[in-house]
């Protein structure tokens, strides 16, 4: 009985897929090798990409592979931001609990007397400075209304300032709510949801200072959640990119999707360490499926660059992307590598002669049999 290289589940002989994460048994040895298991050699694709670069950039000798070989695991610190790495649309990992939006501006509660109104305006100035708002016009009007004291003008000023502050805080609430809703599709956000409810109640009661304090805590809470779960979110994006790249190149990612879906499920259940381990191995499994066809496409693009250069075209930008593909592979950054690959493919598609057409997604060769990194 062997252990699944993705999730570690014992797998009996003659079983088609891991019962724990559904990784195809045909990929066990390839994933183990790509992950840098005991006794494995340097990945062949690192030498292949260096040789491809040298055939285009004749002044650059092939770069040696990393020595010693490193395990092919994702390094989140090297990934582009989620905004930059636009993965294919995917169904949310979980059904997020609903947090109510702000509906309309709250009403200003009445002040007890003229002195209370003055104190309220002074508090609004403090809050405005805290929010970085320009209240210079309000300050001039306030000074004019206080000398001599004009209670009616001060009351009108307090209402205007309240509306301004409530509007700004409502916009901030909605902005943080959008941020929360994006996170909540992947992971639960109970602590942030408590702060949302408190901020909404404070605004509804006209307590703009209290709402600002709650929103400040809310921002800190969401930032903490984002930082804690950043690696897993990036791994989810990376796996989405790899799966979509496989489909675009005519490869069925199905045999490697099991660990990805299981990692997504554990992520949604807030089992972060287990989810991150599974998603890291899911990325390896997806790369293992994609790799043979990927390098067929890289060779085709290399041929296109050579023909563009032979025709007098400038290929420096595309050559930089080709080198970036190599660099990102060395850093075990599949997401960055695929972004560079997309730019390279687009360049060849725009500039290559008709003899080297750039196929559209879905018009590529039939799916290629998954092979190991050393095949």
State which H helix or E strand residue 130 sits in: helix 114-130
Q: 216 with 259, same domain?
A: no
Say if 105 falls within a structural domain: no
Provide the number of structural domains found in the chain: 2
Helix axes 272-310, 230-248, angle to 10 degrees: 40
Q: 198 with 118, same domain?
A: yes
The span from the CA of 263 to the CA of 18, in Å, is: 14
The span from the CA of 246 to the CA of 21, in Å, is: 20
Q: 159 with 80, same domain?
A: no
Strand partners, 146: 149
Helix axes 114-130, 208-228, angle to 10 degrees: 20
End-to-end CA distance of the chain: 25
pLDDT, position 363? 40
Three-state secondary-structure class, residue 327:
helix
Say if 292 falls within a structural domain: yes
Say if 317 falls within a structural domain: yes
Domain that holds residue 196: 114-184+188-228
The span from the CA of 311 to the CA of 305, in Å, is: 10
Evaluated on CA atoms 138, 139, 142, 143, the torsion sign reads negative
Any residues with CB less than 8 A from the CB of 136 and at least 6 apart, and which? Answer: none
Say if 97 falls within a structural domain: no
pLDDT tens series, the chain, 375 aa:
788 888 888 888 888 989 888 888 888 887 877 666 444 444 566 666 677 777 776 555 444 444 433 433 344 433 344 333 444 444 556 677 788 888 777 778 888 888 888 899 999 999 999 999 999 999 999 888 877 778 889 899 999 999 999 999 999 999 999 999 988 888 888 999 999 999 999 998 899 999 999 999 999 999 999 898 888 888 999 999 999 999 999 999 999 999 999 999 888 888 888 989 899 899 999 998 999 899 899 999 988 998 898 888 899 999 999 889 988 888 888 889 999 999 999 999 998 776 555 444 444 333 333 333 333
Any residues with CB less than 8 A from the CB of 133 and at least 6 apart, and which? Answer: 164, 165, 168
Say if 98 falls within a structural domain: no
Q: 322 with 287, same domain?
A: yes
The span from the CA of 132 to the CA of 134, in Å, is: 7
In the DSSP assignment, the letter for residue 76 is: G
pLDDT, position 126? 95
Q: How far is CA 228 from the centre of its chain?
A: 14
Q: 248 with 137, same domain?
A: no
Q: Residues 52, 299: contact at Cβ < 8 Å?
A: yes
> Which residue shows structure tokens 């045909």?
26
The span from the CA of 101 to the CA of 328, in Å, is: 41
Q: 247 with 223, same domain?
A: no
Say if 364 falls within a structural domain: no
Any residues with CB less than 8 A from the CB of 38 and at least 6 apart, and which? Answer: none
pLDDT, position 208? 93
Say if 80 falls within a structural domain: yes
Q: How far is CA 81 from the centre of its chain?
A: 6
Give the angle subtended at the CA of 341 by the CAs of 263 and 313, to the nearest 5°.
175
pLDDT, position 86? 42
């Amino acid at each position: 009985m062997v252990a699944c290289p993705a999730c570690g589940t014992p797998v009996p002989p003659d079983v088609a897929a891991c019962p724990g994460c559904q990784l195809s048994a045909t990929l066990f040895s390839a994933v183990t090798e790509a992950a840098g298991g005991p006794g494995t050699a340097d990945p062949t694709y690192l030498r292949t990409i260096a040789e491809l670069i040298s055939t285009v950039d004749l002044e650059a000798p092939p770069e040696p592979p990393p020595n010693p070989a490193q395990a092919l695991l994702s390094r989140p610190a090297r990934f582009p931001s989620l905004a930059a790495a636009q993965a294919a649309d995917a169904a949310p990992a979980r059904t997020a609990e609903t947090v109510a939006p702000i509906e309309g501006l709250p009403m200003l509660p009445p002040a007890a007397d003229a002195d209370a109104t003055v104190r309220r305006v002074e508090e609004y100035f403090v809050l405005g400075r805290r929010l970085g708002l320009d209240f210079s016009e309000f300050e001039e009007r306030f000074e004019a209304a206080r000398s001599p004291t004009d209670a009616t003008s001060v009351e009108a000023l307090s209402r205007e300032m309240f509306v301004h502050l409530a509007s700004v805080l409502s916009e901030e609430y909605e902005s943080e709510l959008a941020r929360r809703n994006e996170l909540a599709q992947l992971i639960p956000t109970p602590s942030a949801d408590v702060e949302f409810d408190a901020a909404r109640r404070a605004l509804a009661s006209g307590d703009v200072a209290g709402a600002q304090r709650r929103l400040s805590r809310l921002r800190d809470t969401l930032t903490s959640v984002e930082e804690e779960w950043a690696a897993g979110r990036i791994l989810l994006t990376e796996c989405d990119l790899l799966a979509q790249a496989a489909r675009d190149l005519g490869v069925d990612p199905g045999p490697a999707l099991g660990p990805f879906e299981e990692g997504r499920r554990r992520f949604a259940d807030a089992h972060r360490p287990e989810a991150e381990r599974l998603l890291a191995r899911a990325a390896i499994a997806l790369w293992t499926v994609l790799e043979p066809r990927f390098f067929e496409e890289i060779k085709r693009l290399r041929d296109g660059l050579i023909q563009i250069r032979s025709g007098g075209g400038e290929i420096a930008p595309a050559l930089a992307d080709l080198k970036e593909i190599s660099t990102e592979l060395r850093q075990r950054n599949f997401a960055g590598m695929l972004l560079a690959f997309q730019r390279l493919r687009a360049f060849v598609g725009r500039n290559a002669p008709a003899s080297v057409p750039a196929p559209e997604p879905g018009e590529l060769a039939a799916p290629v049999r998954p092979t190991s990194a050393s095949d």
